[in-house]
A and B are shown apart, each in its own frame.
Chain A
Amino acid sequence: MSEIELRNVTRRFDSGIEALGNVSVSFASGSMTFLTGHSGAGKSTLLKILLRLDVPTRGQVLVGGVDISRLAEKYIPLFRQNIGVVFQDHHLLDGRTVFENVALPLRLVGMSERDIERRVRAALSRVSLLAKERQFPPVLSTGEQQRVGIARAVVNRPKILLADEPTGNLDPELSKDIMDLFEQFKQVGTTVIIASHDRELINTMGIPIVELEQGHLLGAGI
């Protein structure tokens, strides 16, 4: 069964530029897929649409059978609480500790302090950063910062995990570690979509690929 399905999705900006043109693609529940293509191919626009930061000009975006482009405004935060996002530039809060950064999605749903501690430590343990929970992001290496971002993205046990160039600034070995982490989340039923233009990494992983070029679907396969 498809967790995510895009039907003839087009996104045209006011300037007339078409970021996505008639894209139809689906992502199965518990699958892991690479979204690839050159810069400007439409990967980020597609991720924004999936996160409901943007809406298509035309077409349908079905998530769990619901067209999210027609979500009522007040349900958008709830929708995002079920999606984990990993950014290339991490989006961590420098003034908060690693623990507090990871705890952010849990705090906003009013979880008890005891549960927060348990979940945050479990997430940090999975990314091997438990020892650094009291440190602040600026003192961490790029790879560590990326792993904090991943811990924050998965701490809420999301149904979907979106990653925008998660290995962009990392060396091949660290990139492999992070991909292994994503593989673990896939194993527990999370639908993982990774936007990347790292051809070498994509070729070594052997997972399904959705390729975009100038906003159009070029192909899908392994």
Chain B
Amino acid sequence: MIANRPIGKSLNKGPWPSPVSITIGGFIRVHYRVAKESFFYVSSHLGTSLLVWLLIGIALGLPAGLYLLERNLGAMSEDWQGKPGISLYFELSASDEAIEAVAQRLRQDVRVRAVSLVSSARALEEFKAYSGLADALAVIEYNPLPNSMRAVLADGLEPLQLELLSVSLTDLPGVQEVVVEKTWLERVTAITELISRLGFMLAVLFGVAAILVTSTSVRLAIESRLDELKVLKLVGATSAYMRRPFLYFGLSYGMGGGVIGAMLVSINISLVEEPLAEFLGSYGGSLNIIGLDYLFVAGMLGIGGFLGIVGALMASRQRLADLQVD
């Protein structure tokens, strides 16, 4: 008499070994074959593939663009932090002697590393060159801009020392206004922090979007190959074998999206490059965009590929687990 017992528990290995032992060469052959087939599938559905690449590209491009912006602003503020300064604006009536006295006073101060004078005439020339208001300024018979002075401060100056220096300079004869560049710097730092957080939020949101786009596309690919999957299951294909082509789909969708994303960022940078260079030039700086290099493109491909595989894994695990063979 055979005892009735629950069948649920699976305990046994099969009665036979594999008909062919899978070698490393065999493993590589299977991957090569599947990768080739997946490439043909993606290229034979080029319209759909382009749409998927574009969607993933936009999803990756926006946070990647913000990342580049944050990196460049960070570098800019670091550059400024390396040489903090104070700008002094003189009264229009201030004499040359009074200005020279202030310059002397600053040169003798240990907290000051360098002093440079910008005359009212040079300030006017620069203003004409960069403001686009040269014609309007020609009508004015006198120079409305004051003489100014920029003091580059020593490294490691505490905010309190900076404040004390600022107050002591305000009281000097001929000085109308003292502007501590730290305020501007704080704004840049705050904006950088905001962009950083915004970039992180968008990276998470658009990353999820990229996964969902890939997942949906892979699911459609699975549905179109259900008959083949059923036959494969009947002849002894493992779940990993059946999943593999769809992981390659996900990888190619994600990496293609990464390429499109990098291209979108590059196009957008080229669009703002010229006005940005002019803007920085007006402050005496020069444009040097950092981060848009081979490593950035490789990062976009890697992240895109990873998100693509995650999306494909989600879709294929769920759908193949539900696959019923009659």
Contacts and interface: CB of A to CB of B under 8 A. Distances in A.
Given A107-B30, A107-B33, A157-B19, A70 B2 contact: no
A53 B325 contact: yes
Interface in A47-95: 51, 53, 55-60, 63-83, 85, 91-93
Interface stretch (B230-238, B274-282, B306-314): B230-238
Interface stretch (B21-29, B70-78, B128-136, B196-204): B21-29
Contacts of B25: 110, 112
Main secondary structure of the interface of B (DSSP, over half): loop
A75 B12 contact: yes
A75 B13 contact: yes
A105 interface: yes
Contact of A159 (B7, B16, B30): B16
A172 to B, nearest CB: 28
B14 A82 contact: yes
Contact of B230 (A57, A91, A112): A91
Given A91-B230, A104-B231, A110 B15 contact: no
Main secondary structure of the interface of A (DSSP, over half): mixed
Given A81-B18, A110-B29, A157-B19, A72 B235 contact: no
Nearest to A7: B2
A111 to B, nearest CB: 5
A108 interface: yes
B127 interface: no
Given A91-B231, A104-B232, A70 B19 contact: no
A78 B10 contact: no
Question: How many residues of B sit at the interface, in one of the four size bands?
Answer: 35 or more
Nearest to A57: B7
Contact of B10 (A70, A105, A113): A70
Contacts of B29: 110, 112-113
A111 B10 CA distance: 29
A156 interface: yes
Nearest to B9: A70
B138 interface: no
A56 B6 CA distance: 10
Given A79-B236, A156-B19, A112 B26 contact: yes
A154 to B, nearest CB: 12
A64 B12 CA distance: 12
Contact of A109 (B7, B26, B232): B26
Question: How many residues of A sit at the interface, in one of the four size bands?
Answer: 35 or more
B270 interface: no
A159 B16 CA distance: 9
Nearest to A66: B15
B1 to A, nearest CB: 8
Contact of B236 (A77, A157, A159): A77
A112 B9 CA distance: 36
A77 B238 contact: yes
A55 B7 contact: yes
Given A58-B4, A70-B7, A110 B26 contact: yes
Nearest to B235: A105
Contact of B241 (A58, A65, A108, A113): A108
Nearest to A83: B236
A182 B11 CA distance: 33
A152 B233 CA distance: 14
Contact of A75 (B4, B14, B234, B325): B14
Nearest to A52: B14
A52 to B, nearest CB: 9
Given A68-B15, A156-B19, 8 more contacts: A66-B14, A68-B14, A75-B13, A75-B14, A91-B234, A93-B231, A110-B27, A112-B26
9 contacts: A51-B234, A53-B325, A56-B7, A69-B7, A78-B16, A79-B16, A104-B231, A108-B30, A108-B235
4 closest Cβ pairs, A-B complex: A110-B26, A64-B15, A81-B236, A80-B236
